[in-house]
Amino acid sequence: TIKKQGAWVAQSVKRSRSQGPGMESHVSEEFASPSAPPPLCYPLAVFFRRYLFFKDSYLIHLFHTFTGLSIAYFNFGNQLYHSLLCIMLQFLILRLMGRTVTAVLTTYCFQMAYLLAGYYYTATGNYDIKWTMPHCVLTLKLIGLAVDYFDGGKDQNSLSSEQQKYAIRGVPSLLEVAGFSYFYGAFLVGPQFSMNHYMKLVRGELTDIPGKIPNSTIPALRRLSLGLVYLVGYTLLSPHITEDYLLTEDYENHPFWFRCVYMLLWGKFVLYKYVTCWLVTEGVCILTGLGFNGFDERGKAMWDACANMKVWLFETTPRFTGTIASFNINTNAWVARYFFKRLKFLGNKELSQGLSLLFLALWHGLHSGYLVCFQMEFLIVIVERQAASLIQESPTLSNLASITVLQPFYYLVQQTIHWLFMGYSMTAFCLFTWDKWFKVYKSIYFLGHVFFLSLLFILPYVHKAMVPRKEKLKKMG
């Protein structure tokens, strides 16, 4: 879950402050932290490139399995048996049940039940680095594996182009499943990738220079460097902008405008620890070649196959849907591919979207804050689409929105609303227990719920009043 994926950054920064005030100690402690192995995976990636890239597949699978198990043992000790058990049972499900709907449903039920049981028995009121952190990543991997294996047994003409890309035609061996599951560059915090993509890496196909190791060192270092920039920013700001302050009497005693501004700034800043984590990990994937995504129309190699962040879009978009499209990309793509689109039989896009967000909330954990956060996301996206449709279809609003001189003002207003209510949603996500998030929401009069629920009911009437009948008929036609 993303809260746990960012926890190694937050915990390491806290530890580093206890060692001294210098920035050098902050950054060096981050790299030395036992709960922060992604930077330490770079030497493993270099070794793989230098000695194993074109070697026999069984050697590559063994290397990935051994290094992943070592990382698991280093962080969680004997609790690595949780991942071993689920991988072994998943392999048996594939072999014994075959390419059947029963195998897919069994996988969904078993893997999610095991994860949720883990959350239940290990839950505390704090963010802890526990075996459930990598296990939530593994859960999605194994479910995706089962669905792709199921698709591999269908007639290719009955599959969409996306399903054809990911469908597994062969029968994975236990060693292949283990190597895929324990790949060191993604075992702890992701990103998600398919078995087919992993097997391309094993076969030496993920390179921009056929027959040679990928020319990916510079792209990998760029993502690592960008991740370190966010790490430094988080380290500098974390003493001054904390979620704990939201729970203090001092916060409640400040004026309403101050409480809103603080929530806005915190909402932007709190995501930096996740951005750091994903950028650093993406660099490892790029270095191995797993990040290779073919060539663009100009023939330039693309290294974004494992990108979990679109940094420029994340920093500049004034829309909630823009943040969703730029943040935690691979997990969102996984949910779209293996859950949302599989609910097409319901015949209701909003219902499918709501169930997908419910699945995401449960995948993150059993605390009420996750449900509230994703409920807010669902509400905000619906209202944002209504507002965009209204502005586009109303001649008056469309003309007003196109006034060039007012564009900076519109952008500022949009960004203010955007990050204020991103912070509002993230409050429930990060505080996650009912007593905490309810207290903060009460202190700002449930502003987010009042604002967006009001718009949800008002906008249809505004649309009816401001959109000419001919525009409505054109839309219906």
Contact indicator for 286, 216 with CB cutoff of 8 Å: yes
Q: What is the pLDDT of residues 135-175, one digit of tens each?
A: 999 999 999 999 999 999 999 899 999 999 999 999 999 99
Tokens of 144: 């995706």
Q: Is the pLDDT of residue 86 over 50?
A: yes
DSSP annotation of 278 reads H
Contacts of 456 (CB under 8 A, 6+ apart): 379, 382, 383, 386
Confidence of residue 190 (pLDDT cuts 50, 70, 90): confident
Rounded average pLDDT over 442-461: 97
Contact indicator for 176, 65 with CB cutoff of 8 Å: no
The CA-atom distances, in angstroms, between 364 and each of 120, 228, 419, 453 are: 12, 26, 22, 25
Compute φ and ψ for 245, nearest 5 degrees: -65, -30
Q: What is the pLDDT of residue 26?
A: 38
- How far, in Å, CA of 412 to CA of 427, rounded? 22
Q: Is the pLDDT of residue 472 over 90?
A: no
User: In the predicted model, what is the mean pLDDT of the chain?
Assistant: 90
* DSSP calls for 421-442: HHHHHHHHHHH-SHHHHHHHHH
Q: What is the pLDDT of residues 291-302, one digit of tens each?
A: 999 999 999 999
Q: Is the pLDDT of residue 5 over 90?
A: no
- How far, in Å, CA of 403 to CA of 410, rounded? 10
Tokens of 199: 């097997």
Q: What is the pLDDT of residue 339?
A: 97
Instruction: Tell me the pTM.
Output: 0.90
Rounded average pLDDT over 259-282: 94
Contact indicator for 196, 337 with CB cutoff of 8 Å: no
Listed residue (189, 188, 246, 191) closest to 426, CA to CA = 246
Sign of CA dihedral 414, 419, 424, 429: positive
Tokens of 244: 């704990």
Q: What is the pLDDT of residue 29?
A: 37
Tokens of 91: 């392999």
Residue 427 burial class via C-beta count within 10 angstroms: exposed 0-12, middle 13-18, buried 19 and up: buried
Window from 21-35, 56-70, 91-105, 115-129 with minimum mean pLDDT: 21-35
Q: Residues of the chain with pLDDT > 70: what percent?
A: 89
Confidence of residue 469 (pLDDT cuts 50, 70, 90): confident
Q: What is the pLDDT of residues 384-416, one digit of tens each?
A: 999 999 999 999 999 999 999 999 999 999 999
Q: What is the pLDDT of residues 165-180, one digit of tens each?
A: 999 999 999 999 999 9
- How far, in Å, CA of 476 to CA of 4, rounded? 45
Contacts of 161 (CB under 8 A, 6+ apart): none
Contact indicator for 287, 274 with CB cutoff of 8 Å: no
Listed residue (225, 217, 207, 325) closest to 279, CA to CA = 225
Q: What is the pLDDT of residue 243?
A: 92
Which H or E element spans position 375?
helix 368-393
Rounded average pLDDT over 218-245: 94
Which H or E element spans position 354?
helix 349-364
Q: What is the pLDDT of residue 123?
A: 79
Listed residue (261, 360, 356, 416) closest to 3, CA to CA = 360
Q: What is the pLDDT of residue 88?
A: 98
Per DSSP, helices labelled H in 238-309 are 249-253, 256-269, 272-288
Q: What is the pLDDT of residue 21?
A: 41
* Higher-pLDDT residue of 381, 3: 381
Q: What is the pLDDT of residue 355?
A: 96
Residue 301 burial class via C-beta count within 10 angstroms: exposed 0-12, middle 13-18, buried 19 and up: middle
Q: What is the pLDDT of residue 473?
A: 52
* Higher-pLDDT residue of 320, 16: 320
Catalytic residues: 328, 364
The CA-atom distances, in angstroms, between 317 and each of 369, 411, 424 are: 25, 9, 18
Q: What is the pLDDT of residue 35?
A: 46
Q: What is the pLDDT of residue 4?
A: 55
Tokens of 358: 């419910």
Window from 69-78, 118-127, 323-332 with minimum mean pLDDT: 118-127
Per DSSP, helices labelled H in 20-160 are 23-32, 41-47, 57-76, 81-97, 101-122, 132-151
Q: What is the pLDDT of residue 364?
A: 93
Q: What is the pLDDT of residue 18?
A: 46
Q: What is the pLDDT of residue 31?
A: 37
- How far, in Å, CA of 103 to CA of 70, rounded? 30
